[in-house]
Amino acid sequence: MITENRAKLFEIAEIAVHHSGGRLSLVFNEEDKSEKFVGDARHFLKLDGTRLGRDIELYGFMGDSIAGWEQTFVMFLEEVLSPLKSVLPESYDKAVEALRTLGESVVYSNHPENILQQWRELF
C-alpha cells in the first residue's frame, strides 16, 4: 500500500524531472549507470544517466517505519535533491519547495517554532 507521503515523494521527483530540460529521468528496473534491466531495482532518479539517491520506494518504507518522516525527508533532500542545486537550479527550486511544504504540513507543524525554522533553513 502506498501511503500519502510515499506518493508525494513520487510527485516531487516528477516535478524535478519536469523542470530538468530532459536531463533528469524517473526510471524503473534499471542499473545505476546504464539502462540495462535490473529486476530488483525500483523507481529512482537519474541525472544524465547516473543514479541519484536510493529507490523512492525505500524512502517511503523508511519514512513509514524505521527512520520516520523527519529523518527521511532530510535524507531525500540530501541524497536526491541537493545534487541538483548547481546543475539544475530550476528543478531543485521547484522540487525543494514541494518538499519543504510537505515537511511543514506532515511533520514539522507539530514541533516548536525553532524546529520548523531549522527545517526551513535547510533549503
Question: Average per-residue pLDDT in the chain?
Answer: 92
- 5, amino acid identity: N
The model's pLDDT over 13-55, given as tens digits with 9 standing for 90+, comes to 999 999 999 999 999 999 999 989 888 889 999 999 999 999 9
Domain hosting 56: range is: 4-121
pLDDT at 100: 95
Q: Rounded distance, CA 80 to CA 72, Å?
A: 11
- CA pair distance 31, 122, nearest whole angstrom: 30
Q: Which strand (E) or helix (H) includes residue 56? A: helix 56-64
Output the CA angle 52-23-15, nearest 5 degrees. 75
The number of folded domains in the chain is 1
Residue 1 confidence (pLDDT) above 70? no
